[in-house]
Amino acid sequence: MRKILIATVAGLFIGLFGLAPAIADSAPSLRGTLALNDGAKKFDKKRVVTKEGGFKRSWKLQPPSIPHKISKERINLDENSCMRCHSAENFKKEKAKKIGDSHFVDAMGKKSDKVNGRRYFCTLCHTTQVDASPLVENTFAGQ
Ligand code: HEC
Ligand code: HEC
């Protein structure tokens, strides 16, 4: 029994370490071949694309991409500055869109007039866009 266990553990190690180079070859790191303790190369900082009228969605229930900069916005326990413009109270005067209807519904389907906690951290789902070429080939086509 013990021998089998040792053999299994040894097998596991060989399996894991044997595989590591294969994974590294097929999934190159964004850091390139730099050693872990070398400073990473500076990357090109891309500008956030702003788009009047917003971005087209790729499918009906896609969280729409953010068509403006958000580097100055703050989302934390004390404040959510996105709501300055997107809340039900403010969206009209800011000429922004009101947050989606689903954002007012809790996990049990109950509606409220406050943004639900599940939708509080906007950038979990909504992201800005930059003009960059894809890191890997992507054949996704929207609807
Ligand atoms: C100063 C006001 C303001 C703030 C703050 C703001 N937005 Fe906006 N947002 C707008 C306006 C105005 C538009 C519409 C732009 C357009 O369509 O030309 C918009 C558009 C959007 C859209 C696209 C909606 C659609 O249907 O296409 C999303 C998503 C969005 N904002 C998310 C956010 C998030 C997330 C934050 C916080 C990180 C945020 N916004 C902060 C004013 C604001
Ligand atoms: C868990 C994911 C998620 C989070 C978090 C989230 N949203 Fe959304 N949002 C969506 C989806 C999905 C849609 C499209 C469907 C809908 O309208 O509910 C959407 C739609 C929107 C729209 C367009 C509404 C319309 O009528 O076209 C705006 C504006 C928006 N969200 C803003 C926000 C803001 C601001 C926050 C943070 C307070 C936020 N969202 C948080 C997923 C999310």
pLDDT in tens, 23-43: 556 777 777 788 888 887 787
> Which pLDDT belongs to residue 17?
56
Question: What is the distance between the alpha carbons of residues 143 and 58, in angstroms, rounded to a whole number?
Answer: 6
Ligand 2 pocket, Cβ-based, cut-off 6 angstroms: 61, 63-64, 80, 82-83, 86, 97, 99-103, 115, 119-122, 124-126
Q: How confident is the model at residue 44 (pLDDT cuts 50, 70, 90)?
A: confident
Question: What is the distance between the alpha carbons of residues 46 and 9, in angstroms, rounded to a whole number?
Answer: 47
CB neighbours of 82 closer than 8 A, spacing ≥ 6?
Answer: 70, 73, 75, 122
* pTM recorded for the entire structure: 0.82
Question: What is the distance between the alpha carbons of residues 115 and 124, in angstroms, rounded to a whole number?
Answer: 14
Q: Which of 103, 115, 124, 128 to mutate to test the pocket of ligand 2 (most atoms within 8 A of CB)?
A: 103
pLDDT in tens, 64-77: 999 999 999 999 99
| 103 CA distance to ligand 2 middle (Å) | 6
Q: 54 with 67: CB under 8 angstroms?
A: yes
| 122 CA distance to ligand 2 middle (Å) | 7
For ligand 1, atom 43, name the residue with the nearest CA. 85
Q: Is residue 128 left, alpha or beta, with left meaning phi > 0 and alpha meaning psi from -120 to 50?
A: beta
